[in-house]
C-alpha cells in the first residue's frame, strides 16, 4: 500500500509540474510573437491611442514578471479572459461547447478502439496470411489519409451522392428541439428525456463525422495491437500454453491480449488526446458546434483570448488523460508501480 501511494503521488506530482510548464510555455509564446496582442485586439485601422488603451487594460505596460504573476493567478482561478468577439467569458463559451466535442470524440474513440484492437488481434493471429495483408493495407490507408480531404469526400459520397447522411450542419436538423440540458451530450440527454426522435436525429448527425475520425485514428491502434500481440504470441509462455492444450481462444484473449495491453493502452491515450485536440478540421467541415470549431473561428478573426483559452484547456485535458493512463499502468502491471 505505501508503494502504491508513493506511485500515485509521483505521477500526480509529475502532472502538476507538466501543467506548470504548459502555463509558462503559453505565456512566453504569447509574449514572443511578433504581433502585439493589443494591436490585434484593436484591429488594423486603430490609432496609437486606442492601442495604448488596450495595452494598459491588458496589463501589457507592466513588467513581464508582474504580467506572469497576474496570468498565473487568473489561470489558477479558472479565468481565461473574455472573448474579443463576443465579450463573454472564454471559460463559459468553451464549457458550453465542450460536450459537443466530447460526444464526437468519445463516439469516434469507441469505434476506433473496437476496430483497431479487433483488426490488430486478427492480423496477429493470422500473421502472414491474406487477412494480415488486408489489415495492414487498412492501417496504411488510414494513416495516409488527409483528414480534411477525407471529411469532404465522405460528405460528398454519403450526403450528396447516396443521401444516407443529413446535411453537415451542426448536431441536429433545423426545427428539431434540443433535449433538456443534463450532460450536454444530445444522444444521452434525449434518451434521458424520452425524446427518441431527437435521439435518432442526433445519432444520424453523429455517425458520419465519428466514422471519419475513427478511420484515421484506428490505424495506429491496429499497428500497435498487431505488433504487441505478435511479440506476446511468440513468447515462451504462450508456446507452453498451446503445448499443454489450453484453448486457442483463451490463449489469445486472456494470456495474449492481457499481456500486450500496456503498449496498446499507451496508444489509446494518445489517440483519445488527439481526438479532443485534433478534431478541429472535422468540426469545421461538419459545422459541429464544439471547441474545435470555436478555436477555428477565433483563429481566423484573431480572437487572442479565445485561442489562448482553447490551448490551455486542451493542454490540461491532455495532461489529465495521460495521468489517467499512467495510473492505469500501475493497476494493470504491478511491476510498474513497484519498480
Give the domain ranges of the chain. 14-76, 96-338
What phi-psi label fits residue 288: left (phi over 0), alpha (psi between -120 and 50 degrees) or beta? beta
Note the pLDDT of residue 35: 67
Note the pLDDT of residue 235: 85
Is residue 216 within 8 A of residue 142, CB to CB? The reply is: yes
Note the pLDDT of residue 221: 93
Report pLDDT digits (tens) over 135-181: 999 999 998 888 889 999 999 999 999 999 999 988 999 889 999 99
Grid coordinates given for 100: 459537443
- Cα(42)–Cα(293) distance, integer angstroms: 23
Is residue 293 within 8 A of residue 280, CB to CB? The reply is: yes
Q: What are the angstrom distances between the C-alpha of 268 and each of 114, 123, 216, 220?
A: 11, 18, 13, 9
Is residue 293 within 8 A of residue 284, CB to CB? The reply is: yes
Mean pLDDT, the chain, whole residue set: 86
Note the pLDDT of residue 335: 59
Best CA proximity match to 102, nearest among 320, 333, 301, 266: 320
Grid coordinates given for 277: 485536440
Cα torsion 113, 117, 123, 125 to 10°: value is: -160
Cα torsion 126, 127, 131, 136 to 10°: value is: 140
Q: Cell numbers 466514422 correspond to what residue?
A: 211
Residue 10: which H helix or E strand, with range? helix 2-32
Q: Which CATH class is domain 96-338?
A: mainly alpha
- Which residues of the chain fall below pLDDT 70? 1-4, 33-35, 278, 330-339
DSSP state of 167: -
Residues present in the chain in total: 339
3-state secondary structure of 120: helix
Q: What is the pTM of this model?
A: 0.88
Alpha-carbon torsion (143, 146, 148, 152), positive or negative: negative
Note the pLDDT of residue 336: 57
Amino acid at each position: 500500500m505505501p508503494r502504491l501511494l508513493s506511485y500515485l503521488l509521483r505521477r500526480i506530482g509529475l502532472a502538476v509540474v507538466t501543467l506548470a510548464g504548459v502555463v509558462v510555455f503559453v505565456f512566453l509564446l504569447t509574449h514572443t510573437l511578433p504581433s502585439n496582442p493589443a494591436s490585434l485586439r484593436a484591429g488594423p485601422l486603430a490609432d496609437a491611442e486606442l492601442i495604448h488603451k488596450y495595452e494598459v487594460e491588458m496589463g501589457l505596460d507592466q513588467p513581464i514578471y508582474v504580467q506572469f504573476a497576474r496570468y498565473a493567478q487568473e489561470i489558477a482561478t479558472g479565468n481565461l479572459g473574455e472573448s474579443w468577439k463576443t465579450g463573454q467569458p472564454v471559460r463559459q463559451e468553451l464549457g458550453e461547447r465542450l460536450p459537443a466535442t466530447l460526444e464526437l470524440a468519445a463516439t469516434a474513440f469507441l469505434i476506433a478502439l473496437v476496430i483497431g484492437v479487433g483488426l490488430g488481434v486478427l492480423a496477429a493471429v493470422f500473421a502472414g496470411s491474406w487477412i494480415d495483408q488486408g489489415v495492414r493495407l487498412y492501417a496504411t490507408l488510414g494513416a495516409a489519409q488527409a483528414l480534411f480531404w477525407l471529411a469532404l469526400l465522405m460528405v460528398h459520397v454519403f450526403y450528396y451522392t447516396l443521401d444516407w447522411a443529413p446535411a453537415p450542419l451542426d448536431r441536429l436538423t433545423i426545427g428539431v428541439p434540443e433535449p433538456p440540458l443534463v450532460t450536454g451530450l444530445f444522444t444521452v440527454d434525449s434518451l434521458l428525456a424520452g425524446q427518441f426522435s431527437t435521439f435518432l436525429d442526433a445519432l444520424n448527425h453523429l455517425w458520419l463525422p465519428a466514422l471519419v475520425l475513427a478511420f484515421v485514428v484506428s490505424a495506429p491502434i491496429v499497428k500497435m495491437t498487431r505488433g504487441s500481440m505478435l511479440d506476446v504470441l511468440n513468447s515462451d509462455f504462450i508456446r507452453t500454453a498451446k503445448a499443454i492444450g489450453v484453448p486457442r481462444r483463451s490463449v489469445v484473449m486472456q494470456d495474449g491480449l492481457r499481456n500486450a495491453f500496456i503498449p496498446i493502452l499507451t496508444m489509446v491515450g494518445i489517440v483519445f488526446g488527439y481526438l479532443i485536440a485534433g478534431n478541429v478540421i472535422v468540426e469545421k467541415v461538419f459545422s459541429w458546434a464544439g471547441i474545435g470549431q470555436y478555436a477555428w473561428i477565433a483563429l481566423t478573426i484573431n480572437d487572442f483570448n479565445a485561442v489562448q483559452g482553447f490551448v490551455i484547456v486542451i493542454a490540461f485535458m491532455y495532461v489529465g488523460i495521460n495521468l489517467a493512463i499512467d495510473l492505469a499502468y500501475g493497476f494493470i502491471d504491478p511491476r510498474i508501480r513497484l519498480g
